[in-house]
Amino acid sequence: MTISSLQKSYKDKELSPRELMQQIKEKIEIHKDNPIWIHVLSEDELEPYLKRLESSDVDSLPLYGVPFAIKDNIDLKDIPTTAACPDYSYVPDKSAYVVEQLINAGAIPVGKTNLDQFATGLVGTRSPYGACQNSINAEYISGGSSSGSAVSVALDMALFSLGTDTAGSGRVPAAFNNLVGVKPSKGILSTSGVVPACRSLDCVSIFAKNSEDASRVLDIAISFDESDPYSRVMPDVKHNVKSPFSFAIVKQEQLKFFEDNEAEELYKKAVKHFEMMGGKALEIDFSPMLEAANLLYYGPWVTERYVALKDMVETKPESFMDVTKTIVLSGKTKSAEDYFNAEYKIKAYKRQADILMKNIDFALTPTTGTIYTIDEVNADPIELNSNLGYYTNFMNLLDFSAYAIPAGFRKNGLPFGVTLFAEAFEDRKLINYGKLFTSKDFNV
């Protein structure tokens, strides 16, 4: 089901939003052993949304009756926000700005989804509510931190969902669940009403099953929010796909697949596929990106996590999972000297990256080099989580836009994904190239 096909069903009187929500409730019940949801809206909580739609025309609302899931570090009015920490829970009196935009457009919130606690992790296992299972193979991780948001869409409990993406949380779960994932340019989607991870880097992300739906939701979600000091205006520019085009790929010696040979072959296949679409692959030195990535968790930006949670981590440390607490407290000792030294490095890396990206349309990387089982991550949570961020951690530090797309399957049925990235505000261009890629037969 797509947004267009759903709304056609509404127009043809084949389905109503009320009937669809009942079907979704049944699917949620089927998968109740997978901790996808922290809070599913009750019938009473859903009623105001359904009543509004029943008194509206399908054509009057661009997202009429479209069910969506909300990561539980993003506020929904009158529904608890926990950030996967029960002691942190509060009930907001208004929805996050981006949630308001979507509801105003007719979308129906299904509920709040599970996540790595305080959006700290790329695995989906760091939650007291349970480790979210991969939608294809329950032994494997869902990816995080936006774990439940991705799995809910993959299992047809929502047509799209909201996540957040500071280090890769809107891209890694997309790759692991065969979805598209929009990591927008910083600031074009408001973060008002979002529990901060790294406030200066946080982005609200979008999961969907296809580029058409992702693009449609993005266009509605983009809105300048004057109450958000990090909000930026999206320039009104056209982003047409051209042919021929050029795209950057990672130097062979800088590629890492962590012994996942099938992932390596699928990346090569994706490169070939873009070439057959009219692209010219240009191998570039990814050193500036990789050096920047190391600064996200080992540099002073981790102090933003400590600042956001200082009162609670100092007074109620027992409320945190051990791995979350370790990461948050690691930000306590960073100094102003550390920050400025890192800031100077980031400016240099950004300049180098911009030079490398000049005259190319986008860069193409694996979204992740591999995937792990839940047991593997539990046995080695820090290093394996770090491996998953190899191609993602630099993105917001260097102010890139990014789009994760499916790119085939391993022999065991688990999906592989690639990510297109470019300068800030080139989001629609990336989606257009991604749409062209996924619309073609991948067996080249």
SS3 state of residue 190:
coil
Q: pLDDT at residue 444 above 50?
A: no
Nearest CA among 155, 175, 154, 174 for reference residue 163: 174
Sheet order of strands, 67-71 included: 37-40, 108-113, 67-71, 160-164, 204-208, 180-183, 400-409, 415-423, 362-366, 245-250, 279-284
The pLDDT tens digits of the residues spanning 62-95 come to 999 999 999 999 999 999 999 999 999 999 999 9
Structural domains of the chain in order of their starting residue, each with its CATH number: 3-221 (3.90.1300.10), 245-294+332-439 (3.90.1300.10)
Q: Report the alpha-carbon distance of residue 209 to residue 31 in Å, rounded.
A: 19
Residue 239 buriedness (CB in 10 A; 0-12 / 13-18 / 19+):
middle
Q: pLDDT at residue 142 above 80?
A: yes
How confident is the model at residue 188, as a pLDDT?
98
Residue 71 Cα distances to 130, 203, 216, angstroms: 15, 12, 19
Q: pLDDT at residue 437 above 70?
A: yes
Pairing of strands 279-284, 245-250: parallel
Residue 283 Cα distances to 7, 90, 244, 419, angstroms: 43, 49, 17, 16
- In this prediction, residues 425-440 reach a mean pLDDT of 93
Q: Report the alpha-carbon distance of residue 420 to residue 428 in Å, rounded.
A: 11
Residue that the structure tokens 């869902």 belong to: 142
Helix (H) or strand (E) holding 44: helix 43-54
Helix axes 17-30, 43-54, angle to 10 degrees: 150
Would you please indicate which residues are annotated as catalytic (active-site) residues?
71, 145, 169
Q: What is the mean pLDDT of the chain?
A: 97
Residue 182 Cα distances to 17, 35, 394, 404, angstroms: 26, 24, 16, 6
How confident is the model at residue 104, as a pLDDT?
98
35: CB partners within 8 A, 6+ apart: 114, 127, 129, 130, 131, 132, 133, 148
**pLDDT tier for residue 384 given thresholds of 50, 70 and 90:** very high
Backbone φ/ψ region at 13: left (φ over 0), alpha (ψ -120 to 50), beta = left
For the chain, helix, strand, coil in percent to 5 are 40, 15, 40
**pLDDT tier for residue 237 given thresholds of 50, 70 and 90:** confident
Q: pLDDT at residue 137 above 50?
A: yes
**pLDDT tier for residue 442 given thresholds of 50, 70 and 90:** low
Phi, then psi, of 77 in degrees rounded to 5: -50, 130
Nearest CA among 45, 40, 29, 94 for reference residue 68: 40
Yes or no: say if 56 and 64 are a contact pair by the CB < 8 Å rule: yes
Share of the chain above pLDDT 90, in %: 96
24: CB partners within 8 A, 6+ apart: 67, 110, 156, 157, 158
> Residue type at 132?
C
Q: Report the alpha-carbon distance of residue 142 to residue 136 in Å, rounded.
A: 9
425: CB partners within 8 A, 6+ apart: 185, 188, 234, 235, 237, 401
**What pTM, to 2 d.p., does this model score?**
0.97
The pLDDT tens digits of the residues spanning 19-42 come to 999 999 999 999 999 999 999 999
Nearest CA among 298, 270, 277, 230 for reference residue 420: 270
Is the bond leading into 135 cis (omega within 30 degrees of zero)? no
190: CB partners within 8 A, 6+ apart: 96, 97, 98, 204, 223, 224, 225, 227, 228, 231
The pLDDT tens digits of the residues spanning 143-199 come to 999 999 999 999 999 999 999 999 999 999 999 999 999 999 999 999 999 999 999
Q: Report the alpha-carbon distance of residue 115 to residue 70 in Å, rounded.
A: 10
Q: pLDDT at residue 293 above 90?
A: yes
How confident is the model at residue 147, as a pLDDT?
98
158: CB partners within 8 A, 6+ apart: 24, 67, 68, 69, 110, 152
Helices (H), 256-411: 261-276, 287-298, 302-315, 322-329, 336-357, 374-379, 381-388
Q: Report the alpha-carbon distance of residue 219 to residue 101 in Å, rounded.
A: 10
Q: Report the alpha-carbon distance of residue 38 to residue 110 in Å, rounded.
A: 11
Q: pLDDT at residue 243 above 90?
A: no
Yes or no: say if 201 and 396 are a contact pair by the CB < 8 Å rule: yes
36: CB partners within 8 A, 6+ apart: 28, 113, 114, 132, 147, 148, 151, 152, 155, 157
- In this prediction, residues 303-313 reach a mean pLDDT of 97
Nearest CA among 321, 289, 253 for reference residue 84: 321
Tokens of 100: 């308001």
